[in-house]
Structure 1
Amino acid sequence: MLNVLGWRKLSGTGVNRSGRDCAQEVGSADGCINGLHSDGGNEGGGDGDPDELPDPAGSGATAPVLGEFVDKEEAAPTLVVGTGTAERGTSAAGVVDLEAQAITTEATRQVGWAAFDQGRVGLAQSYFDASLRASAECGDVIAGAYTLSFAAIQCYSSPGLAGRAVSFVDTARTQVRGRSTPRMEAMLAARAARAWSKGGAKEETKYQLHLARAALDKGRHEDDPGFLYWVDYGEIEMIAGSSALELGDPAEALRRFEAGMQAYPGDEQYPRSHAIYLARAAEAHLALHDLDAAVATGRHAAACLGAVDSARSASQLRVLRGKLAPHTAHAGVRDFLEAGKSQKFA
């Protein structure tokens, strides 16, 4: 499992720099590794749960860019920066290179998320661990906590590990207390809500979603890390919908999904995450015995996946197809299932 204890000890003695400071120092870590972005979230994020960090291309499309990152499962995570190689962010003289570590923190997190999105969970864990180490070395507690939130998604997407996900988020919150912005707090509260919903804790889920909304109500802050661009009311409502469905309340799930879609540019900007949320909305319609709506929403989800490559998103569509299979007496269901046979989520 991730070396969270080691990260907590190291990050507690770091130089206490924010993610914004690190990004400014390296001229924006995102810019240095342009092309590596992959979804969360929306968580999802996926579990799609970005709840997932949204991305229009899908992690499958990043594979050629990631190159040797995702092809060498046994190799220690390294990062090529410019014309040199920074391995674990140490210079030739053995001095920690803070710039390289700041870039490595974000790059290895993104590679880990791309690996998870493609179902390579062991590889994902190794890169999340590398990201935590790098964040501790450069003193970027905020970026380390962000990585830990993605590791939490991996946990609560695995049977029986929701409790560990809650622990990961709690650790992240403890480490950033007094150092983060309301938007960071909203993201972590939403992650906690999703983790609690996986364990069936209705009241705690509700409370964490309240905290997430209350944090967003405080508005944007000049110190908000750039990587939190996707955290908004629409995303929180989508997570609330996923959580309600998990807790057996499909009517509430639909209310939350519909509210989220009013402010969530899924079709245009985040098709991978949107496909996951739409598939879940279709499941909610099915639970309420509205087959017409379930099929229509399922078709919308499938259309979102037409131009992206995501194992998690495709898996969510397969779950929906499995739940629709007993209802083939309905013409719309039959057509939907038949059309899907030739698609990636069949």
Structure 2
Amino acid sequence: MGSSIGANIKRLREARGWSQSRLAHEVCRAAGVIGDPVGRQEVSRWETGKRTPREWLPFLAAALGVSVEALREPQKPAEAPLPTLDDFLPEGDPLSPLEGRSGRRVGMGEVDDLQQRVHGLRLADDVLAGGDLIRPALRDLRRAVKLYRENTFSGEVGRQLLRQIGELAQIAGWIASDAGQHAEAERIYRLGISAARQAEDHTLAGNIAGSLAYQLSNTGRESEGVTLAQAALHDAGSDAPPKARALYLDRVAWAHTKAGGIEHGQQAMRALGEAGQALSEDSPGTESPAYLYWVDAGELRVMESRVYTELHRPLRAVPLLREVLSAYDATHTREMALYLSWLAVALADANEPEEAAAVAERVISLGADTPSERVAERVRVILSRLQEYAEVPEVAALLAGHQAA
């Protein structure tokens, strides 16, 4: 019976679009108690069946607008349950406030300062690699979590702090992943998802989850990547800004591409089409979060070209990559190296080994001064792909030079 109650609580909560924190607050209000003795962790335990509500059951029913009997009623299992982000939250609650907090009173000034730090880190990531930024990124994240846990603030300031922690976790996780610290990046991303969901910012939660899905897809966990990318798209809902939906769909497309197979390839192409449609709905009057500043038609073309490369369709990939690279900002060294790496592979697939070798030389040269594990991995991919053409003089010289280095 406990599992039925938990499933019903979760189903009814999600139908209302409430977070676990919101339901906990509503239960306390229905019970007429103060101090919020029920919190998000308790609701999570009820939903997973680890604990039974017992005396809280009538207040749960009142908060959710149903009878106690309806909460107890067994539900027929869904044929294909939609994925959810709940399973990707961190164990325990690393954001829970410390008991008897004695810190100072925090206001919107601190939120603004944190927002500036996040924005500065994001801009730095455009031109610097993960190895250069990992230390300041982790330092800023630790400070932000400490600020939230040890001090006092109003409800609105608390939500804004959680939102900034979520944004900081997204960029810090991205930086850690670029530095090759994948386990650390995953922990950071999960922390960020938790912060965004507690702040009830579903758009941000979807962005962070999509970043983690991207890492999973690229590190041998393709099935998990598909599940999480789809969960990010679903949980954000149809009300997400067009740019956000385009980004979620981009991640879905890549996850299916990395999963491999004809069906996944078809799903990838479908998601790319839907991403383009979503972005076309963006207009000057449409508000999008500032962190989506980089999502535009050019970025969608990059993903489209990468998907075509991965699906071994070089006649579609090469023209797209040439178009993107011709207009790309050369100061963004890491991204330039990455995009060129896809062009090198596509040219090899198109049976143009001489040109592929020339492009590979540029990738290696750019990567030499870029402490990015992503670039290093792409160099390994290119060199492996070119082994087939080892007897071509340009390729032989490239392979020999790299081996000597």
TM-score norm. by structure 2 comes to 0.66
Match of 1:223 in 2: 287
State the alpha-carbon separation in 1 of the partners of residues 376 and 329 from structure 2: 16
Aligned partner of 1:124 among 168, 185, 200: 185
Aligned partner of 1:12 among 12, 18, 23: 18
Residue 118 of structure 2 aligns with an amino acid whose one-letter code is I
Distance 1:106 1:300, change over 3 A: same
Aligned partner of 1:250 among 298, 314, 318: 314
Distance 1:35 1:302, change over 3 A: farther
Is contact 2:325–2:336 with CA below 8 Å preserved after alignment? no
Counting aligned pairs with the same residue, the percent is 20
Is contact 2:312–2:346 with CA below 8 Å preserved after alignment? no
Q: Deviations over 1:87-144 (max 9, x none)?
A: xx33545976223212211112222211211222111111111101111222222111
Is contact 1:194–1:239 with CA below 8 Å preserved after alignment? yes
Is 1:272 the counterpart of 2:337 in the alignment? no
State the alpha-carbon separation in 1 of the partners of residues 352 and 109 from structure 2: 51
Q: Deviations over 1:157-195 (max 9, x none)?
A: 122x32322222222222222431111111111111111
Is 1:282 the counterpart of 2:338 in the alignment? no
Work out the number of aligned pairs and report it.
301
Is 1:56 the counterpart of 2:56 in the alignment? no
Match of 2:112 in 1: 27
TM-score norm. by structure 1 comes to 0.77
State the alpha-carbon separation in 2 of the partners of residues 103 and 138 from structure 1: 10
Match of 1:108 in 2: 169
State the alpha-carbon separation in 2 of the partners of residues 288 and 317 from structure 1: 18
> Tell me, what secondary structure is at the counterpart of 2:219?
coil
Is 1:212 the counterpart of 2:297 in the alignment? no
Listed as ranges, the gaps of 5+ residues in structure 1 are 16-22, 40-53, 70-77
State the alpha-carbon separation in 1 of the partners of residues 173 and 237 from structure 2: 25
Match of 2:197 in 1: 136
Aligned partner of 2:361 among 273, 296, 299: 299
- Higher Rg of the two aligned structures: 2
Match of 2:137 in 1: 66
State the alpha-carbon separation in 1 of the partners of residues 255 and 186 from structure 2: 18
Q: From the two aligned structures, give the one with the greater helix fraction.
A: 2
Match of 1:44 in 2: none
Listed as ranges, the gaps of 5+ residues in structure 2 are 1-9, 23-107
> Tell me, what secondary structure is at the counterpart of 1:26?
helix
